[in-house]
Structure formats: C-alpha cells, structure tokens
Structure 1
Amino acid sequence: MASQPSAPPTGLPAAETAAPPPYDRVRAWLVTAMIVTFMVVNFADKAVLGLAAVPIMDELHISHGTYGLISSSFFLLFSLAGLVVGFVSSRVSSRTLLFVMTLTWAVAQLPVLVVAAVPTLVAGRVLLGAAEGPAASMSMHALYKWFPPHRRGLPSALQISGAALGTLVSAPVLTWLITAHGWRSAYVALAVVSATWALVWWHVGHDGPFDDARPARAARRRDVPDVPDVPTSPDVPDAPKAAARVPYRRLLLTGTVLGSVSSAFGASWALSLSQAWLPSYLRTERDMTPGAAASTISAIAAFSLVLLLTVSPLMDVLKARGVTSRWSSGATQGIAVCVAGCAMAAFPFTDAPLVQHLLIGLAFGTGAVAVPLHYMTAAEVVPAAQRGALFGIVAATGTLPGLVAPALTGHLIDAADTTASGYTYAFLISAAVMLLTGLLAVACIRPERDAARLAPYV
C-alpha cells in the first residue's frame, strides 16, 4: 500500500507547519523605495501650509489666530482616522489602503485652488489630516509584509527617516515654487505628485508574502476546518495557553506607557509648532529670505534624519552591553525632549546668529529621537496580542499637541503687544511643556520593573 503523506503535528493548523514564504529581495526593496517616497510626499503635504503661511495670510488678510486654527484643523480627524483604519487593515489590503489614502491627499489640495478662502483651507486640511492619520502605521504594516522579521530593521529605519527626508527635500522645492510661481503652484504640484504615486503604487504595491493574516484567510478559502483548542489540564502537560491579555486600564496606567506617551507628546508639540509657525517666524522675526528660511528648515530635518538613523543601532549596542531599557531607550527619549525644551526656551533671547541657529536646530530637531523610542519602550511591557491597539492609543494621544500648539501660538501672537513678544510667549510655553513631559518620561519609563509587575496578569 502506498504511504500516506504525514499529517501536521497535533494541535497545529496546516498553515503553521508550512515552509516560510520566499523572500523576494528585488521586489521587497522596490516596495521599500515606494514607501519611503510615500513618507516624503506625506510630510511635504504637511509642510506646505507652513511654508506658504506668509503669502497666504497677506493675500487673504487673515490674522495669526485664524491661521493657527487653520493649521490645527489638520489634526481634527487625524488620530481618529488612524485608529479606525488600523482596525480596517485586517480586512482590506495594504495596496488598496495606501492607494486610497494618496488619492485623497491629491483631492485635499483642490478646494483652495477653486476658491481661496478660510473655509476651503480648513476643508482641505481636515480632509488631508484624516487621510494622513493612518499613513505612518499603515505604510509600516505594508512594508513588513515584504520582509521576514529578522530583515525588518533597516527598512523600518528608512521608513521612519522618510519623515525627516520629506521636510529636507520639500522645504527648498516648495519654497522655490511659492516664490517663483505663487503659493497655489505648490498645492498643484503636491496634488500631481500624490496622484502619480498612487497610480505607480497600484501597479507595484501588491501585498507581500509575509502577511500574518494571509494563512487564516487562505485556510477559510480552502474550507480547512479550524483545529479545536486543546483544553488545559494536568493530563495534557503541553496544552497551549490562550493569548495573554492585560486589562487596558492597567496597561495605560503603567509608568512605562505613561512615560512613553509623555515623551511623544513633548516631541509632537515641537513638531507641530515647527510645521505651522517656524517658516513664518524665520521670515518675519529673523528677517530671512524665503530661500534662507527653507535652508534652515532643511538643515533641521537633516539633523533629525541623522538622529533617526543612528539612535536604533546605538540602543542595540547599549543593551548588548547590559544597559537596561530604562536607561537606554527610556532615559534617552526623555532627555532628548528636555534638551529640545531648554533650547526652545533659550533661542528667542539669543542674538548671535550661529548660536541662534544651533539652538533652533536643537529645539525643533532633537525631539525626533522620541518618535521610534517611545514605541520601543511601550512594546516591552505590552502583550503581543494587544500591541497594535495600544500603539494606536499611544499614537492618538501623542499627536494631540497638533490640535493645541498651532492655534494657541496664533492666539498668543494676536494678543501680545508685538508679534515678536507673542512668539516668545509661545516658545516659552512650549519649552515648559517639553521640559515637563521629558522629565516625566525619564522618571516613569521603567520597562523591566513594569513588565515584572504585569507578569501575574500574563
């Protein structure tokens, strides 16, 4: 009698015993290049309003307070959209999600081209914010589908650095368009670039083979019956356990998670202030030409890019030498936000150009360190099954300054005796927020301690 094919081990679905999918190096790095370009376009879209702030305010005769509200409107649906699309991503392909998002970016640039007015500016920014809220997480999700876990380090770093690269590239290009052809030309260019990226992505951006949800979907298509759970009992010593889950209230009140949110909050405050008001401040208060202001912003972005590309390897080295996560990734992100806060408090009172530029770079560039590290520290105390949901909550909380900082700054400028003093008040408040959140991060982030405290619930 012919021998029968061997069955998979008892208790494991057939999909889990199959050979790992092949790694297509060329296609994976093509998708990586597309994702980095996606992030570049993403941050160019964010930056265009700030780069065009002076001509827009002059042409439409709007106050600093009104402009601040327009800038803050970008974040009205930003966090909510990120949470909603995160849940949708388990049912819709990354190819489709990113395609729809970038087409929406293109559409969001159009209202102000039809009628240049405050309502159309707000409508465009709200729509753009809703479409860009899921961008970072969903592009990383799409990227991971093309790389096995042990090959994801460099692609992840490149995806994160796309944010700084977007500002580095877009600041001089968009400033040239605004100066040479009017601020509307920048909106037209971004609409064309977004639509072009979407069309190219539709042809090359198929989901990769390393998709955790794919085996389950494939099994359902083949009508493969689910393997029943093996009951846990003393008679079955190797019975698998259900995935550990910790109450979200306890997770969110853990010092490490609170500290991670705190550092993200401080870093996001500086980032939103930079995108909304730094170009205008450099031009009107520091008497820079549009080109010089763009070069300064690009230099800050380059500084952030260097930090982002070096911080993860440095953390790996520190941990390999026995440094705990509290002092490597935890203290590092808190100290970075504190350094940025100190620089924020100092540069409005500095007249020496070289020192002033250095302090501005530290104030608006150093906080980038907290962006990858606050996810790393939060991940160390959260069960894998709950990591995605908690990351969504952490990201939503960390981006709240985008709703507050630009509008508050505009209000302070309008209420002050002079524009310069209004900016100074805004920067001092920002410094206080950043110092407080940075110190909280240093004091609260203790992954080893909190993981041990949560162990009874796992």
Structure 2
Amino acid sequence: MSSQPSPPLVLDGSGDPGPPAFDRRRAWLVTAMIVTFMIVNFADKSVLGLAADPVMEELDISHSTYGLISSSYSILFSLSGLVVGFFAARISSRVLLFVMCLVWGVAQLPVLIVAAVPALVAGRVLLGAAEGPATPMSMHALYKWFPVGRRGLPSALQIGGAALGTLVAAPVVTWLITGFGWRAAFVALAVTSLAWSVVWWFVGRDGPYDQPPARVRAETTGPARVPYRRLLLSGTVIGSVASAFGASWAMALSQAWLPSYLKNELTMSPGTAAAVLSAVAALSFVLLLALSPVVDRLTRRGLSLRRSIGVPQGAAVMCAGAAMAVFPFVGPLPVRLALIAVAFAVHSIAFPLHYMTAAAVVPASQRGALFGIVAATGTLPGLLAPSLTGRLLDSASSTGAGYTQSFAVAAAVMIVCGAVSVCCIRPARDAARLGIVVQ
C-alpha cells in the first residue's frame, strides 16, 4: 500500500470527523497522469488495427485469421478486469497502475522477436490481460480524489484519454508504419508504456475518498458491504452494463476494422484514413468535455441521477446505433463520413456515465470490485465483434457486403442495449433498496 499521507478529515462543529478535504492540486495532478495512462492504453490497443493491412500482407493471413488475432486481445481482458477488481480494496492504486503499464510495454515485445501469428497472439493476449483492469481501476483511482458532484469532468477526461489516444495514435502510428515499418510502432509504444510507469511510481498517490472511518461510514454511507448478488441484479447495474456493452461493440469495430474499411472500401490513403480516425476521436473528446460540466452542474442542483446520467448514456448508444445502421447505404461521401463519425464517436458518452451510474449504488469499499465486474461484462464485445466481422468478411459475396452485415449486427446490438439502459437505470430507487447513500 502507498505510504503517502492523504488529506486530513475535516472536523465539523461537534468535533466529529466530516468529509475529507478536497486537495485540488493533487487531484488534478493524478488526473493528468491517469489521462496520459489512458492515452497510452488506447494507443497500445489500436496499433494492430492501424497496422492491419501490412501485417496481413507480410504474414499472408486471411481476414478471419486477422479477426481471431484481434479478438485474442480479449481472451483474458474481461477475466483480468474481474479478478483485479476484487483486489482493488487491498492493493494501492499506485501499485496496480504501475504494474499494468509495465506489462503493456513487455507485451509489445514477442512480435519483435518472432514476426508470426503465434507471437502476435501471445502479445495480444498478454496485453489484453494487463489492459482489462485499466479503465475500471484508473477510474477507481480517480474517484479516490473527487467527491460526488465533482466527478463529471475528471470522469470525462479519463474516458477522453481513449479518444486522445486514438487522436494521437492514428497519425503518429500511421507515420511510423508507413515510414519505418509496422514493427517501429510496436517499439515506440513499448518505450512509452515503460516511461509512464517510471513517472507514475514517483507521482502516483491514493486519495481520501475511498474508505472513510467506520463511524463516518456507518452514519453516511449505509451498510459497509452489500452482497454482490444484490448489486448485480439491481436495474441500475444491469442498465449500466448494457450501455457499456453496446458502446464497446462500436469501439471494438473501430479499433479492429474501421481503418481497413476506410482504406479498402472507401479507397482512402493511409494518411487520409488516419485523419478521419483522428477526426472521429476528436469528436468523441469534444462531446465528453461538453457533457461533463453539465452533468456535474445538474447533479449538484439536485436533478435525479436517472435523468442526468442514466437516460443520456442509453440515448447516446441508441443514436450511434441508428447511424451505424444507415451509413453503409448513404451515397455522398461527406454525408457517409458524418454518419460514421456519429456511429463511432457519440457512443463514447456512455463510458464515463456508466461508471458514475454504477458508483451511485455501491459502497466505496466495494466500488473497485464492482467496477471490475461491470467492465468485464460490458467489454465482452472486444472478444466477439472483431472475429465475427472477420468471418462475415470471408463468407460474404464481397468484402463490402461483409462490412454492411457487420455494421447491421452492431447497430442492432447497440439499439437494444441503449433501450435496456434507458429503461433500467434508476439509481435513487436502487440505492434506497440497497440501503446506500454514496458520498
């Protein structure tokens, strides 16, 4: 556990300990590190998709084989997120994030030693195992520094790190691949991951909004623990998982197949395709930043969490799903690109909101574990979508028809998941049933 001191508890008028003091400077330093952590995370994750064509050409592999390689990233992704989540209350976030990012760098090495399918699979499996807990555990680390009512912007920035990762990775990694070969991109990302680990070890800290003293917990946050069965069967958690599942399907397609679709079906050059990917990522980031202050303001003013964070996440996934269903049939390229941007960017709103939703119905001591469970189930599309798309591409009459089928499947999944999210998320009702008032 980290030995660094946390900000002291503030005493109220009676001399009893109140909520911990908000350390703005330290909180935002940690936020900056975690945003950088997410940028590296998504750059590592997207490198294979950006290098798809040269990798398939050099190794002489089919779309189905590439799809399986891409999906291998998710073999241990969900399981590791689930397992690590249960250790979050016992192990410092400083240590967890340090080890994760260290392994990311190591995971890029097998393909540099032996450029073959087994090495690619081994590296992606190891990378997925180390990145599975990344989003929930970094969000948990962030929430240790921000009380309720201040979490909207840092949550959006944390998830925005994913968009920034794509925004930065698409042009830079594409430049490395075209100028120096695809192996150069793997080397650069390995070095970057190791460098972040070193810096985090010296500046990372655990915040005070995690496990308050027993007396404060008893008076302000209800029961110390709630059976996980009750938490997982609450409508709010089910709706939260549904929105993450639908959004993750679009994200998995974006990372594994969208670069290839832009280059092969829309006949874009690698540089133009990278620019489109960066534009989609930029839209995601703008949407996240625009939403976060609104959410915080509405929450502090007393608007129900169902209306401020529940309905918007489901509606965003449904909107993106509708665009996903339509864009393959649109003729004019500018309109198609606009719809592609909606399909692959608007769903990102769901990611920070679904963590805020889940946090509203769980005691602080169980938050890391619940985040791990929610992430593990919500990110299963990373295992399903890439390989299914590869099979559809190989079995369809043409690659264009295969892409159209895969986008139709994604649209159906997203619209259904978004509708479930809108209907099920009711944080106030479920928190009352569970006897929780989260601070």
Asked if 1:291 corresponds to 2:289, the answer is: no
Identity of aligned pairs, percent? 67
Q: Which residue of 1 aligns with 2:79?
A: 80
The Cα of 1:382 is off from its aligned counterpart by 3.5
Q: Which residue of 2 aligns with 1:41?
A: 40
Are the aligned partners of 1:243 and 1:385 in contact in 2 as well (CA < 8 Å)? Answer: no
C-alpha RMSD of the superposition: 2.9
What is the one-letter code of the residue matched to 1:40? I
Asked if 1:352 corresponds to 2:366, the answer is: no
Q: Which residue of 1 aligns with 2:238?
A: 258
Are the aligned partners of 1:144 and 1:210 in contact in 2 as well (CA < 8 Å)? Answer: no
The Cα of 1:268 is off from its aligned counterpart by 0.5
The Cα of 1:368 is off from its aligned counterpart by 0.5
Which of 228, 232, 237 is residue 248 of structure 1 equivalent to? 228
The Cα of 1:256 is off from its aligned counterpart by 2.2
Asked if 1:414 corresponds to 2:394, the answer is: yes
Cα distance in 2 for partners of 1:118, 1:253 equals: 40
Larger Cα-atom Rg: 1
Give unmatched runs, 5+ long, in structure 1: 1-15, 217-226, 230-237
The Cα of 1:317 is off from its aligned counterpart by 4.2
The Cα of 1:245 is off from its aligned counterpart by 4.4
- Residues 249-299 of structure 1, C-alpha deviations (whole Å, 9 max, x = no match): 333222222222111110000001100000000000000010111111111
The Cα of 1:31 is off from its aligned counterpart by 3.4
TM normalised by structure 1 equals: 0.84
Cα distance in 2 for partners of 1:156, 1:77 equals: 25
The Cα of 1:154 is off from its aligned counterpart by 3.9
Q: Which residue of 2 aligns with 1:399?
A: 379
Indicate how the Cα distance of structure 1 residues 192 and 386 shifts in structure 2: closer, same or farther if over 3 A, else same: closer
Matches within 5 A, 1:43-442: 43-145=42-144, 153-205=152-204, 207-208=205-206, 210=208, 212=210, 243=223, 245-319=225-299, 323-442=303-422
> What SS is found at the alignment partner of 2:73?
helix
Indicate how the Cα distance of structure 1 residues 22 and 431 shifts in structure 2: closer, same or farther if over 3 A, else same: closer
What is the one-letter code of the residue matched to 1:298? S
Cα distance in 1 for partners of 2:361, 2:90 equals: 27
- Residues 206-248 of structure 1, C-alpha deviations (whole Å, 9 max, x = no match): x2463756x98xxxxxxxxxx9x9xxxxxxxx99998254443
Cα distance in 2 for partners of 1:49, 1:389 equals: 30
Indicate how the Cα distance of structure 1 residues 329 and 143 shifts in structure 2: closer, same or farther if over 3 A, else same: closer
Cα distance in 2 for partners of 1:170, 1:302 equals: 12
The Cα of 1:194 is off from its aligned counterpart by 1.1
Deviates more, 1:333-342 or 1:41-50: 333-342
Indicate how the Cα distance of structure 1 residues 146 and 264 shifts in structure 2: closer, same or farther if over 3 A, else same: closer
Are the aligned partners of 1:148 and 1:210 in contact in 2 as well (CA < 8 Å)? Answer: no
Indicate how the Cα distance of structure 1 residues 62 and 329 shifts in structure 2: closer, same or farther if over 3 A, else same: same
State the aligned residue count. 421
What is the one-letter code of the residue matched to 1:268? S
Are the aligned partners of 1:79 and 1:395 in contact in 2 as well (CA < 8 Å)? Answer: yes
> What SS is found at the alignment partner of 1:88?
coil
Are the aligned partners of 2:87 and 2:369 in contact in 1 as well (CA < 8 Å)? Answer: no
What is the one-letter code of the residue matched to 2:85? G
Deviates more, 1:376-385 or 1:400-409: 376-385
Are the aligned partners of 2:222 and 2:435 in contact in 1 as well (CA < 8 Å)? Answer: no
What is the one-letter code of the residue matched to 2:345? G
Give unmatched runs, 5+ long, in structure 2: 1-15
Cα distance in 1 for partners of 2:328, 2:274 equals: 19
Deviates more, 1:32-41 or 1:240-249: 240-249
Cα distance in 2 for partners of 1:159, 1:49 equals: 23
Indicate how the Cα distance of structure 1 residues 100 and 386 shifts in structure 2: closer, same or farther if over 3 A, else same: closer
> What SS is found at the alignment partner of 1:75?
coil
Cα distance in 1 for partners of 2:277, 2:141 equals: 29
Are the aligned partners of 1:267 and 1:371 in contact in 2 as well (CA < 8 Å)? Answer: yes
Indicate how the Cα distance of structure 1 residues 360 and 182 shifts in structure 2: closer, same or farther if over 3 A, else same: same
> What SS is found at the alignment partner of 1:429?
helix
Are the aligned partners of 2:221 and 2:363 in contact in 1 as well (CA < 8 Å)? Answer: no
